[in-house]
Amino acid sequence: MLRMKKYVRQIGLGILSTLLVARVANALDFEVVGTGGNQIPVVIMPFAQENAYAQLITPVVKADLTRSGLFKLVDFTPAQTPTDLNQIPYDELTRRGVMAVAIGTVEPQASGVAVVKYRLVDVAKHEQIDGLALNQPATQLRRIAHKVADRIFEKLTGDRGVFSTKIAYVLKQGKRFFLQVADADGYNPQSVVSSSEPIISPAWSADGGQIAYVSFEAKKPVVYVQSLSTGNRKAVANFKGSNSSPAFSADGSRLAVVLTQEGHSQIYSVPAQGGPAKRLSQSNGIDTEPTFAPDGSIYFTSDRGGSPQIYRMGSEGGAASRVTFEGAYNVSPDISPDGKGMVFVQNAGGRFRVAFMDFASRQTQLLTDTSHDESPSFAPNGKLILYATQQGGHGVLAAVSSDGRVKQKLTELAGDVREPAWGPFTGR
């Protein structure tokens, strides 16, 4: 078991203390608490001349790959930093069992631009597997490093990397609530909403440009949609009673929400800009927590059968079929990006844990060994699940791989963290 800690803290008061909300300056802290079985042994050589900038590339790439649990970062410091294929010490790397090596350079240009070049090389074949040259403002070095890590991840595992994506979560500090958006590694947290009343259920639009959430600022739950770039927000479901649990349709035109127009909580569809609501679910009980599958169908939680279970209905609502049968409390579904399975929270004996169901086999596997799990959310590559849990009476975020083997904890240093939602892929 590999234990790694605290490489994600130096974000600083230096940068963020200028913000009004300096207390939110702490980044999330990552800790890998379990790793996959077959790790790919790699060496990430120091990027030549990266010391020209305070923001280094190499440590970010290494941290990303380590955190995924799928790589063994072999420690290797060459006498001279290789910048070309013929300078790589293949024999030494082979002796250490290294499969692939990354090399790179950082070239400062005039007007604040940096050219970052990276190559990934197959150690056995002495062949380049991947290469990239990026011409970007030097303020974007951290983002470039995540992009390099994404490329390495994809070339060596076959799955798209999620290191450049973002996560949203709710932070409670004292009596204030903050809707935070941060890089997937917990860096660069930004408060996009702050309030003295609770905020829950953030949900991303498919293009990553908007976020929907429930705010209690009106002394009752109302659904808002907010543009992340402009901060413009609009109440899109503010009907009499409660308005909650938003989920964007894939094309971003509509939201599934939960309203109480008929008294009990039912699932409706509203335009993403607000407008009349159309009822989708039809039961005499509670229907809530709608989430879209890639095929447009809607999975949701309902107690129509006597206990809360997960059901599925078509994109236009109507008749529903029951999906979960084991146990008396199965809630909070999130469908995998490939549509082949779902994660949800199962309560067994007072322990609320994240479980994964494979739709083809209907087999369910518990993924976590914690007890207060909530709000599981798939990474856009389907390989990791972010969820909220508790540690020492504090709300923390954790991540687990879809096979349950790799586990990470993300702790906010001062406050309760909850309601995570992993953002989509954006751009290529």
Q: Which residues bind other proteins (CB under 8 A)?
A: 198, 200-201, 216, 219-221, 240-242, 244-245, 258, 260, 263-265, 286, 288-289, 301, 308, 329, 331-332, 345, 347, 352, 374-375, 393, 418-419
| Shortest reach from residue 228's CB to other proteins, in Å | 22
Taking CA atoms, 49 is separated from 56, 75, 119, 234, in Å, by: 10, 20, 15, 47
Shortest distance (Å) from residue 157 CB to other proteins:
32
What's the CA gap between 355 and 376, in Å, rounded? 9
Yes or no: say if 423 and 185 are a contact pair by the CB < 8 Å rule: no
DSSP 46-74: PPBTGGGSSS-SHHHHHHHHHHHTSEEE-
Pick between residue 105 and residue 375 the one whose CB is nearest to other proteins: 375
CB of 40 to other proteins, least distance (A): 37
Nearer to other proteins, 163 or 300 (CB): 300
Least CB distance to other proteins at residue 416 (A): 11
The answer to whether 412 touches 32, Cβ cutoff 8 Å, is: no
CA distances from 208 to 28, 102, 181, 403, 421 (A): 21, 30, 11, 26, 11
CB nearer to other proteins: give 128 or 196. 196
Pick between residue 301 and residue 402 the one whose CB is nearest to other proteins.
301
Beta bridge partners of 407: 34, 400
For 169-191, b where at least 16 C-beta lie within 10 A, e where not — what string? bbbbbeebbbbbbbbbbbbebbb
Backbone angles phi, psi at 19, to 5 degrees: -70, 155
First to last CA, the chain: 33
Residues 6+ apart with CB under 8 A from 282: 266, 317, 318
Cβ proximity to other proteins: between 42 and 255 the closer is 255
Least distance between other proteins and beta carbon 242 (Å):
5
| C-beta of 393 vs 427, nearer to other proteins | 393
CB of 420 to other proteins, least distance (A): 12
d(CA 214, CA 202): 7
Sign of CA dihedral 281, 285, 288, 291: negative
Paired tokens of 108: 């400062």
| CA–CA dist 341, 357 (Å, integer) | 5
Q: Whose Cβ is closer to other proteins: residue 308's or residue 317's?
A: 308
Q: Give the nearer residue to other proteins in terms of CB position, either 288 or 402.
A: 288
